[in-house]
Amino acid sequence: MLRAMALAAGGLLTATIALAAADIPTRYAGSFPSVGGFSNVTGTFTGSKLALKGTYNRGMLFTTASSTLACVRATATQTRCAGVFRTAEGEAGRRVLLVTWSGGRPVAMAAIH
C-alpha cells in the first residue's frame, strides 16, 4: 500500500515537472505581449536568445525598435532576457525583460531592473 502511494506521488511529481518544462519552448516565433511603450511586438525565441521588433512610443513620437537579448531560465514558466534595444534613429538602451510563458507561448512581459 505504501509503495503504491509512493509510486503515485512520484508519477504526479514527474508529470508536474514535465508540464512546467513544456511552458518554456525550445523555439518560438510570432507575436509577443506589449511591455511599457513597446507594442506591436514580434520576435523569435531560441531558448537562449530572444530577438524582438516592434513600435516604441516616446510621448508623441512612434519609431521602430529592435533588440537581441540573451536569455536564461528564471523559473519553470519564466525567462530573464537582457540586452540592448535600438531605435530606428540609433538610440540604444539596455533592458532586462522577464517573459512569462504558458503552453509554449509568451503570455506576459515585464521590464525589470
Total domain count, the chain: 1
For the stretch 5-18, what's the b/e string if a residue is b when 16 or more beta carbons lie within 10 angstroms of its beta carbon? Answer: eeeeeeeeeeeeee
Residue-number span of the structural domain to which 42 is assigned? 2-112
The model carries a pTM of 0.78
Average pLDDT over the chain, rounded to an integer: 85
Q: Does residue 103 contact residue 23 with C-beta atoms inside 8 Å? A: yes
Q: Which of 113, 33, 24, 38 is nearest to 73 (CA)?
A: 24
Q: Does residue 68 contact residue 83 with C-beta atoms inside 8 Å? A: yes
Q: Is the pLDDT of residue 19 over 60?
A: no
* DSSP reduced 3-state for 39: strand
Q: Is the pLDDT of residue 7 over 90?
A: no
Q: Is the pLDDT of residue 41 over 80?
A: yes
